[in-house]
Chains A and B, each alone.
Chain A
Amino acid sequence: MNPPNGFDVSRRGVVLGTAATGAVSALGVSPVYAQAATPASAASVSAPVTARVSVTVNGEARALELDTRTTLLDALREHLHLTGSKKGCDHGQCGACTVIVDGRRINSCLSLAVMHEGASVTTIEGLGGPDNLHPLQAAFVKHDGYQCGYCTPGQICSAVAMLDEVKAGLPSHVSDDLLAAPELDGAELRERMSGNICRCGAYSNIAEAITEVAGRKA
């Protein structure tokens, strides 16, 4: 079993990177900058390059040494072993990887981990667990808002942040009046959740779950 902090994985990455480039001082580099001193050719880098990044994940400070290519999603799943966030398409088209960064929902597959220095990340694990479900998690269970469940963590993280967007008065494509406070009717909910695809087609139950929590909040 890997330890939960995943440091054995990242240390191996550092050793590989250091041996290959002979240039990166694993612990001496600036937290935001790492560069191989002698790229193999003018416009390509032959070996992996590592950089350090510090993020707060679900309230806990984490420091990682990562290949610069590591997405936030892979950092969460493969290095921090928070496998609730799912890799669906890995191209920002399905929403299964949705997490909340500094209060905003994003596709964690389309963001590099090293670009999140100092950020605060909330994943499905941070919203609630089996003994203390977040209201949206409970509503998804109650309304059977899934079939296979693969899109569910992304759906729930997305919905949590989406409800905050409505509360903040952000308009959507289907809002009749750009300046009026939005009301989360069926059309608004579907438009605002369109970045989360459910391959099983559990949309009607997902919509019911979110609607119930939105009503409770209002």
Chain B
Amino acid sequence: MKPFTFERAASPAEAAAAAARTPGSKFIAGGTNLLDLMKLQIETPAHLIDVNGLGLDAIDLIPEGGLRIGALVRNTDLAADERVRRDYGVLSRALLSGASGQLRNKATTAGNLLQRTRCPYFYDTAQPCNKRQPGSGCSALGGFSRQHAVMGVSDACIATHPSDMAVAMRVLDAKVETVRPDGNKRSVPIAEFHTLPGDTPQVENTLAPGELITAVTLPPPVGGTQIYRKVRDRASYAFALVSVAAIVQRDGSGRVALGGVAHKPWRVEAAEAELPNGPKAAAEKLLAGARTTPDNAYKIPLVERTLGAVLAKARG
């Protein structure tokens, strides 16, 4: 780990301002991903701003309906919140399918959204990686790529976003609330929060420098049968090869988002009209324009089958 200076921020606006005025600074909350990357010198912040004391750890009812989840709410607490379990089951399920009990006790809502890819070439500092070192090349293209993305990929990067939670939030139409160093606040639909790699895979979201996530909001509950199905190499404590977050209503209509296939949670609203016509029709539209490698082409039929299993379960 490289040496760094350390401070505790006193308010969200002060944290954002401190980040803007201190070159090379990073916010740290749970630290479960950032410290891992700092030990490997993939992340080398010169200054850490501890945001754990900012009081952003409550889950509040929004008067007009919905929930406001503080940025620092731990994954364990979000999954266990009774309102989330009852009204947003897909979110509880997604959180509980991720990481381990120990990690979920530390990992935060905002940190989960900001976690970096687990592409093995991003982690291997001896290999070229456009995300870690822009312009150095992508080792996954033509490399060992069975975990990698098939949608929205570019010639620069085929990494996936590793979050389960974000996939559920995408199907729930969550919004990300932030504060900027100048004190201005905004609310970003999660669909517009994460970005595709394009020519700049080192950019993973639409946050401005120093901008701090303060909360994630969920709209009023939409009911339906809520399912998160995760396919992985072992039964627990592994990242998704493919995951499906779905909300299916009694009439067969619904919403679906995919994890493990793109640089962001993958949702195609136009594909959802096909859900009553079965998994094949919906998967075809969800995965239109897919670009696979020989290693990860299996994800195309795996998405269809996983979606089929989810729709069958929703029918009961």
Contacts and interface: CB of A to CB of B under 8 A. Distances in A.
Interface in A150-175: 158, 161-162, 165, 168-173, 175
Contacts of B35: 71, 110-112
A45 B2 contact: yes
A147 B102 CA distance: 23
B39 interface: yes
Interface string B90-111: 0011001101111101100000
Contact of A191 (B3, B28, B103, B236): B236
Query: Which residue, of A42, A104, A161, has the highest number of chain B Cβ atoms within 10 A?
Result: A104
Contact of A195 (B4, B23, B39, B103): B103
Contacts of B103: 92, 107, 110, 195
A61 to B, nearest CB: 20
Nearest to B40: A91
B86 interface: yes
Nearest to B3: A45
Interface in A81-105: 90-92, 95, 98, 104-105
Given A106-B106, A162-B101, A165-B101, A173 B7 contact: no
B3 A46 contact: yes
Interface of B: 1-8, 23-24, 28, 31-32, 35-36, 39, 44, 46-48, 50, 52, 76, 79-80, 82, 85-86, 89, 92-93, 96-97, 99-103, 105-106, 235-237
A34 interface: yes
Interface in A19-57: 32-36, 39, 42-49, 51
11 contacts: A49-B6, A92-B103, A98-B102, A111-B35, A112-B6, A112-B28, A158-B101, A173-B93, A178-B86, A179-B82, A194-B100
A162 B105 CA distance: 11
Contacts of B39: 90-91
A36 B236 CA distance: 43
A32 B3 CA distance: 17
A69 B24 contact: no
A203 to B, nearest CB: 12
A77 interface: no
Listed from nearest, the 5 A-B pairs whose CB atoms lie closest are A195-B100, A43-B24, A194-B236, A35-B5, A178-B85
